Each structure stands twice: as structure tokens, then as C-alpha cells.
Amino acid sequence: MDELSIESPEVEELFKRIVSCLPQATPYRSTAFRSAGVKYANETDFLSGEGASYYGGRWNPPGVKAIYASSDPVTAVRESYQEFMKYGFSQQDIKPRVMAGIELQLDCLLDLSETKIRRKIGFGKRFLLE
């Protein structure tokens, strides 16, 4: 949290609100799906978060590692191509990607689909879908 607080007080405040929700976090066991560019589809990089840290992404600023995954393969593909769709790239501009399933065994997961948790953090469901 110290590194993020240097960037902005808003981020520090957001993390404080998230931490206050941790008692509502639960264990989570499932399969997630990840779509990654060919460059990062190797044993070292696939789950490192390095690729997202270079330029930032939808949910992380530059310099912060993040792994984008989904509970189903269709959403993983849509998420990975959302920038192409958002900016109107042609199909010829879309580069190959690799899809893989990941067995998750998380000690705690904060479910942002829960209205109570979103309200405490300070954003609505619409924000998650943007």
C-alpha cells in the first residue's frame, strides 16, 4: 500500500475502504480463464502481472502488476479485446492470444458483485461493467 499511496491520496483511501471489507472475504476455489498475448504466454510471465504493469490496464495503473482473468472463457476473451473494441480497431489489427485455465485456491476473495461490499468501497455495479 505504501507504493500506491505515493501516487495519489484517492488510491490510499480506496485501499483503506477495501481493507475494511476484508471480514466479508471468503475462501474461493474454482477455475479461472486467462487470455494473454503470445509474448506473455510462457511459464514465467503468464501469472506474473508484468505485462499489465508496463502500461497499466483497466484496473491497474502503470507500475502495478495485475493478472486479468475471468470465471468463464468468453468473458476472458471479451476482456482481453475490450481495448480493441473500445477504440474501433479492425480485425486485422488483433494479434493472436493464448487462452488457459488456472486452478484457483484463494484464502480470501472479496466479491464485488455483493452490493454491501461495493457500497462500502464506494462504487456501483455500473462502474464494474464500464
pLDDT tens digits, one per residue of 28-68: 999 999 988 888 889 999 999 888 888 887 778 888 888 88
Residues 54 and 114 in one domain: no
- Summary mean pLDDT of the chain: 83
Helix count and strand count (H, E) for the chain: 7, 2
Q: What's the domain count of the chain?
A: 2
- For the chain, how far is it from start to end, CA to CA, in angstroms? 25
Contact 56, 64 (CB under 8 A): yes
Domain span at residue 97 reads 30-106
Residues 55 and 99 in one domain: yes
Percent pLDDT > 70 in the chain is: 89
Please report the pLDDT score of residue 87 as a whole number: 75
Residues 94 and 121 in one domain: no
Mean per-residue pLDDT for 8-17?
Answer: 82
Quickly state the pLDDT bin for 4 (edges 50, 70, 90). Answer: very low
Q: Which residues pair with 106 in a beta bridge?
A: 28
Residues 81 and 18 in one domain: no
Please report the pLDDT score of residue 62 as a whole number: 86
Please report the pLDDT score of residue 68 as a whole number: 86
CA-to-CA dists, residue 124 to 10, 90, 99, 112, angstroms: 17, 32, 30, 9
Query: What distance in Å separates the CA atoms of residue 111 and residue 130, rounded to the nearest whole number?
Result: 17
Residues 86 and 115 in one domain: no
The cell for 50 is: 508484468
Percent pLDDT > 90 in the chain is: 29
Residues 50 and 72 in one domain: yes
Residues 19 and 34 in one domain: no
- pLDDT over 90 at 107, yes or no: yes
